[in-house]
Amino acid sequence: MTLPLALATSEAMTTSSFPDWHGTTILAVRKGGKTVIAGDGQVSMGQTVVKGNARKVRTLAGGKVLAGFAGATADAFTLIERLEAKLEQYPDQLARACVDLAKDWRTDRYLRKLEAMLLVADKEQIFTVTGVGDVLEPETGVAAIGSGGNYALAAALALAETDLDAETLARRAMAIAARICVYTNGELTVESL
């Protein structure tokens, strides 16, 4: 027996989760005394682009810290608010603020359910912060997260050997990622220190 289409669709919606939200590429580059975080603007739900100009990069701590996020937007905003509180608690100690956030994120029952990642940087350091307790500093001055992160990372690492400045390098690497990853577009938000 086959179900009517409307009933089958309704049943599928209740038995499965909502479609995956994709569409973030965040890239951090530190070169020549300058730190840049660039993020694309695409948000996709399944095969549909829902928004093309989302702003996924923010300045924090009075302009001393940059943060970009990948994942669920509300979850990411919650984490960014928590990070800002940690930065107030530990001024000019980005590593300590990130480690403390990751510790809370992993141990707090509410925070543990948040589905996002952060890429955080100041003039000297870049960190990837995850919900499993990772606070990773890249070996090079380049890090990336999101669905197009690996494409942007590979492009940035290749371009790092050139004489491009940090912002130009980030913009070119993001353009390459946008050409390859269907969940990444060329509508960039770029913040620098």
In order of 3, 83, 89, 99, the CA distances from 93 in angstroms are 59, 12, 9, 10
| Bridge partners (DSSP) listed for residue 123 | none
What distance in Å separates the CA atoms of residue 55 and residue 103, rounded to the nearest whole number?
27
Catalytic member of 24, 25, 35, 128? 24
In order of 24, 33, 58, the CA distances from 51 in angstroms are 11, 34, 18
Task: Give the ranges where 34-165 is alpha helix by DSSP (H).
Answer: 73-89, 94-107, 149-159
**Whether 24 is catalytic:** yes
Catalytic residues: 24
